[in-house]
A and B are shown apart, each in its own frame.
Chain A
Amino acid sequence: AQSVTQPDIHITVSEGASLELRCNYSYGATPYLFWYVQSPGQGLQLLLKYFSGDTLVQGIKGFEAEFKRSQSSFNLRKPSVHWSDAAEYFCAVGANDYKLSFGAGTTVTVRA
């Protein structure tokens, strides 16, 4: 069975600074990997996804993620954070069975 670990529960970053959120997955084959963002009281919005091919994927809102098979990681990055990026971020892994396994999430606080 697949699983996801997000080591950081909470990250605080200054507006304009760079952001990196860590994600490690466990799965025997090449997984489908996703990052979602959730604002308080809202559903999940898909930021980006990785299925195969280029290991650096671009997403919406200026986010990108890099798949590293050797490290079983799929870290999310943004070069310059905006106050509107304050939210909770979830990494997820799928195995083509329409069942996503999610990490516990990382809450991002942006300070002025």
Chain B
Amino acid sequence: KAGVTQTPRYLIKTRGQQVTLSCSPISGHRSVSWYQQTPGQGLQFLFEYFSETQRNKGNFPGRFSGRQFSNSRSEMNVSTLELGDSALYLCASTAGGTDTQYFGPGTRLTVL
């Protein structure tokens, strides 16, 4: 079974731009979670989607948003990028019921 895939793997943007990251979960998994990883703050939960509905949200500003499609694929969007948004963005999928999250390789976002 294929793992979680994330595209693109690397992105370079400038301040003020917006960016969209994509995540395809493991086949059959309906829950998708997003995390931000930085050297200073570590791994922080962004949000989680199930059946196209956001069920849980972390403590991030409204510039961070996401959505999930009917095929469980998910996207996250960051608007008005700031230098501090430079991070590795990780997506994880879950079969359900146990919190066992399987992570993708991440998207490395650099904001200049």
Contacts and interface: CB of A to CB of B under 8 A. Distances in A.
Given A49-B100, A51-B98, A43 B45 contact: no
Interface string B32-74: 0101000000110100101000011010000000000000000
A100 interface: yes
With a 10 A CB-CB cut-off, give which of A41, A99, A101 has the most chain B CB atoms.
A99
A32 interface: yes
A89 interface: no
A94 B50 CA distance: 17
Contacts of B104: 43
A98 B94 contact: yes
Interface of A: 32, 34, 36, 41-46, 49, 51, 90, 92, 94-105
